[in-house]
């Protein structure tokens, strides 16, 4: 199966265009104020207008309330919602309210953490396995942290899934070989500084995806 890629945390027309030209299947727009990648409604609308129909627009949220969701979905023309730190019950309610595809992030450090994936059956359409961030971290992801990919070997996934957490152009091939991932998600691994996407790294990451 070919590997597809989501470039997450895009915030400028230039980097968005490079992701699209490079063949990203999904682009991620962050709506979480503590993140250096967060977007205003105006910027989200500007970027969304540049995304062609074959590329899916994903909004990234941390346990959002309905008001934020509604405003962001409209501004970003969102087609899927990626939820961090959001319970299965809340995820199911958001899915019912919006009718959009739900990606539930599961933070992983140990094999036991993978059990949380099953709790989203019926509430989410896809699981995003992400690295568990250090205690006290202000962000649930996008910090360049990776987990032990061998934890996913032999695991029976309850839902379609994607791999995230610390991926970059140099380790992507190994990550896919170890996990068998058919969708990968990158943010900080294609940045020159927190929140600043690097067009060269985006292009390199997507070039590698094409070889997998």
> Which residues belong to the active site?
8, 130
Contact 115, 152 (CB under 8 A): no
Which is nearest to 10 in space by CA: 54, 52, 53, 60?
A: 60
User: What whole-number distance in Å separates Cα of residue 139 and Cα of residue 68?
Assistant: 18
- Token duo for residue 184: 């990968």
Contact 114, 155 (CB under 8 A): yes
To the nearest 10 degrees (0 to 180), the angle between helices 41-48 and 13-22 is 40
End-to-end CA distance of the chain: give it in Å, rounded: 9
């Amino acid at each position: 199966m070919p590997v597809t890629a989501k470039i997450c945390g895009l915030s400028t027309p230039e980097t968005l265009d490079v992701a699209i030209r490079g063949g990203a299947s999904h682009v991620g727009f962050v709506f979480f104020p503590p993140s250096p990648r967060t977007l205003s409604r105006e910027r989200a609308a500007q970027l969304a207008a540049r995304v062609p129909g074959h590329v899916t627009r994903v909004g990234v949220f941390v346990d959002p309330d309905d008001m934020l969701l509604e405003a962001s979905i409209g501004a970003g023309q969102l087609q899927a919602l990626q939820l961090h730190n959001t319970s299965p019950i809340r995820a199911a309610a958001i899915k019912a309210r919006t009718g959009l595809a739900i990606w539930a992030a599961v933070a992983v450090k140990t094999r036991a953490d993978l059990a949380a994936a099953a709790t989203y059956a019926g509430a989410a359409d896809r699981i995003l396995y992400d690295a568990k961030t250090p205690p006290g971290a202000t962000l649930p992801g996008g910090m360049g942290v990776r987990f032990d990919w061998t934890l996913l070997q032999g695991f029976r996934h309850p839902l379609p899934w994607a791999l995230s957490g610390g991926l970059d152009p140099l380790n992507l091939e190994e990550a896919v070989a170890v996990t068998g991932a058919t969708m990968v998600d990158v943010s900080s691994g294609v940045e020159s500084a927190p929140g600043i996407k690097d067009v060269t790294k985006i292009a390199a990451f997507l070039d590698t995806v094409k070889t997998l």
